[in-house]
Amino acid sequence: MKEAVRSNFDASVPAYEAYERRTSRFGTLARLLAAEMTARSTGPFETLLDAGAGTGISTAVLAERGSRTVALDVSRGMLRANDAADRVQGDFDRLPFADGAFDGVAFTASLFLVPDPSVAVREAKRVCRSGGVVGAVAPLGWVDGEGVDVFERLGRESRSPAGAGEVEAALRAEFTVETGTWQFAATAGDVGRFHAIPAMAARLYPKEPPEERVRRAIDLLDALDGTVEERWRWVVGVADGGG
């Protein structure tokens, strides 16, 4: 599973960057999550870990707030496009950092990409100082004007290795958490472009090779038109001991 996620993202850089240029979605999520984390942090919010940093969209947002931001990602391809000074190729299930090394750990659109988010959450707690914060944002999907999931209408499921509920439960098990939902207006075209990213097309057709997977996702989403509501769940946990 992890090896597939890594190679899917290695193959996703151009489509990922094209989607972000069009929607600014990941930048917006990173900004909103950083604001929620800052509001709940006790003491400095300076040394930050961007866990699942990708091409650097969330890294740049965190760098505006902290004096040192480390970008960690399992995909070398994504990380190559990230121009942060501190880049580490690695798995957030086994963080190569000392206990209490960070004031905050942010998983912007990344923690739902492992089947068991609780492993990464325990690692994030370990590397977070007491009073520091761990935040995550995970997708809840897209609904049409009648509140029906667009993939239900299309007779398919667009699912990630872990759902937003599992991400939230993993954080609740280790921290005192606050959570909420963000909604965005999106076009049918945006949903198509999201699933034209090979790593995201795997939500629909995980067993197909990347090109075929994207082709089938584009075909499927051709039937969609108009605007939809895109929903994301955010969760912030405050570390009250340990670190």
Ligand X SMILES: C[S@@+](CC[C@H](N)C(=O)[O-])C[C@H]1O[C@@H](n2cnc3c(N)ncnc32)[C@H](O)[C@@H]1O
Residue keyed to tokens 């809840």: 140
Task: Kindly identify the residues of this chain, within the stretch 56-75, that bind ligand X according to CB under 6 A.
Answer: 57-58, 72-75
Pairing of strands 86-89, 102-108: unpaired
Position 5 contacts ligand X (CB under 6 A): yes
Q: How far is the CB of 12 from ligand X (least distance, A)?
A: 8
- The answer for residues whose C-beta is within 8 angstroms of residue 146's C-beta and 6 or more apart is none
Q: Which is nearer to ligand X, 34 or 131 (CB)?
A: 34
Q: Which is nearer to ligand X, 60 or 143 (CB)?
A: 60
Position 78 contacts ligand X (CB under 6 A): yes
CB atoms within 10 A of CB 16: 24
Q: DSSP per residue over 162-185, as a string?
A: S-HHHHHHHHHHHSEEEEEEEEEE
Determine phi and psi for 209, rounding to 5 degrees: -65, 160
Q: Which is nearer to ligand X, 119 or 131 (CB)?
A: 119
How far apart are alpha carbons 74 and 79 in whole angstroms?
8
Q: Is 47 left (phi over 0), alpha (psi -120 to 50) or beta?
A: beta
The CA-based angle 72-30-50, given to 5 degrees, is: 15
Q: Which stretch binds ligand X (CB under 6 A): 2-10, 150-158, 209-217, 225-233?
A: 2-10
According to DSSP, residue 149 is labeled B
Position 234 contacts ligand X (CB under 6 A): no
For the record, the structure tokens of 62 come out as 């965190």
Task: Kindly identify the residues of this chain, within the stretch 38-57, that bind ligand X according to CB under 6 A.
Answer: 52-54, 57
Nearest residue by C-beta to ligand X?
54
Q: State the binding string over 184-223 for ligand X (x if CB under 6 A, else -).
A: ----------------------------------------
Q: Give the count of residues interacting with ligand X (CB under 6 A).
A: 23
Interacting residues with ligand X (CB under 6 A):
2, 5, 9, 26, 30, 52-54, 57-58, 72-75, 78, 91-93, 108-110, 113-114
